[in-house]
Structure 1
Amino acid sequence: MKELEKTKRISIAAVITILVVLIAVLSYKKPKHLYANNTKSTLETITNSNFFATLEDLKGENLALIDVRNQFEFEKGHLENAINIYTPEILNDENSKILNNLKATNQTIVLYGSNTNDVTVPFLLLNQLGYSNVKMATIKNSYYQNQLITINDTIEKSIADIKEFIDESIKKASVESKPIPVKVVTPKKVITVQKKKKKPAEGGC
């Protein structure tokens, strides 16, 4: 009788487990955004390609200007024909459609903000997501008497060669480290010498 109850309990537990697994499988949703490039390939892209756009470059054809500032700043004043995609909202459904359409039509996306630092994060994010058509506008935006003033932003150039540093790091990582030789110490044999017992002195008083 007890064995029958145990069997019933095991069967019920097995059915519940299968149901939980089925529900998990059916409710699983594939993430909307997956990284297309890893950190290494992103760094290689950044060091090997020119992804900056100056104020003069913004006059070229087939460009899509995206202002990453908030709506208030955008409405206060923005570049001609620019669209507003605020950085924290760059991956929502509506903005993802816009970015995908620009990529499909081979348009170069140029991100700009109050300065170059504003566009560093969205640029790196989009680059890792596979948007190879993205550039950063090296410009500064400010206001004078409610008029937007746009000038070129000075980018500090690194004295160190970043590409050389990355290549050297990869080379060092790929070289197998030589094993350190282990010195084998053989234990010395210890010979114990038994002490001879002293004989008692002969004779007496």
Structure 2
Amino acid sequence: MKELEKTKQISIAATLFILAVLIGFLTYKRPKNTYAFNTKSTLEKITSTDYCLPYSLIENEDVAFIDIRNSFEYNKGHLENAINMPSVDIMSEASLKLLLDLKKSNTTTALYGSTPEEANIPFLILYQLGFDNLKILPVELSYSQNKLITKESKIENLPYDINGFIMDSKKHLDSSNTIVPPNANVPKKVITVEKKKKRKAEGGC
């Protein structure tokens, strides 16, 4: 009887497990947003091409400008015809639809904030999602008597070879992950221990 009860319990548990797997499979939804480029390829692309829009095109009507600041800062002053898309809402359905429409129409789109650094993270996220028509506008914004002042921000080009750095890091990682076979003759390190000299017994009474 006990064996029958155990068999029933095992069969019930197996049936429940199969049902759970089936429910999970049927209710699985593919993520809406998946990266088109990984971090490595993104870094390689943005370092081999100029990801900054020339400041001279700040009034170009063929460029779509997106202000990633909050609505309060945007309403204080913004570039003419700029679209407000706060960085916290950059992944919303409305924002992604607009960005997709701009990409399909092959429109160069420039992100800008109070400083170029403010646009770095939204730019990298969207670029990895496949929006390779994006640029960063190198501009610094300030206010004087409630008027928006725009100033070109010069971004220094680093003298480092980032692609070379990635390749060196990969080589180092590959060499550190090498597996030593169990029968390999690895030289053993011998540690010599010095014997302590016995003290001479001191004279007693």
Residue 85 of structure 2 aligns with which residue?
Answer: 85
Q: Distance in 2 between matches of 1:126 and 1:139?
A: 20
Residues 1-205 of structure 1 aligned to structure 2 (within 5 Å)? 1-170=1-170, 182-183=186-187
Q: Distance in 2 between matches of 1:6 and 1:171?
A: 54
Q: Distance in 2 between matches of 1:157 and 1:54?
A: 14
Q: CA RMSD in A?
A: 2.6
- Quick one: percent identity of the two aligned structures? 48
Q: TM-score, normalised by structure 2?
A: 0.79
* 1:58 CA drift (Å): 2.6
Please give the secondary structure, in 1, of the residue aligned with 2:100: helix
Please give the secondary structure, in 1, of the residue aligned with 2:33: coil
Q: Which moved more, 1:162-171 or 1:113-122?
A: 162-171
Corresponding letter in the other structure for 1:116: P
Call closer, same or farther: CA 1:58–1:181 in 2, change over 3 Å: farther
* 1:168 CA drift (Å): 4.8
Q: Deviations over 1:47-101 (max 9, x none)?
A: 1001111331233353211000001001111111111111121001111111111
1:78–1:148: 8 Å Cα contact kept in structure 2? yes
Call closer, same or farther: CA 1:20–1:170 in 2, change over 3 Å: closer
Q: Deviations over 1:103-158 (max 9, x none)?
A: 11111110000011110111111111111101000001111111111111121232
Corresponding letter in the other structure for 1:125: I
Corresponding letter in the other structure for 1:51: Y
Please give the secondary structure, in 1, of the residue aligned with 2:109: strand
Please give the secondary structure, in 2, of the residue aligned with 1:81: coil
Residues matched between the structures, number? 184
Q: Distance in 2 between matches of 1:125 and 1:171?
A: 27
Q: Distance in 2 between matches of 1:44 and 1:35?
A: 15
Return the index of the structure with the highest Cα Rg. 1
Q: Distance in 1 between matches of 2:14 and 2:76?
A: 63
Q: TM-score, normalised by structure 1?
A: 0.79
1:63–1:109: 8 Å Cα contact kept in structure 2? yes
Structure 2 unaligned runs (5+)?
A: 189-205
Please give the secondary structure, in 2, of the residue aligned with 1:150: strand
* 1:3 CA drift (Å): 3.0
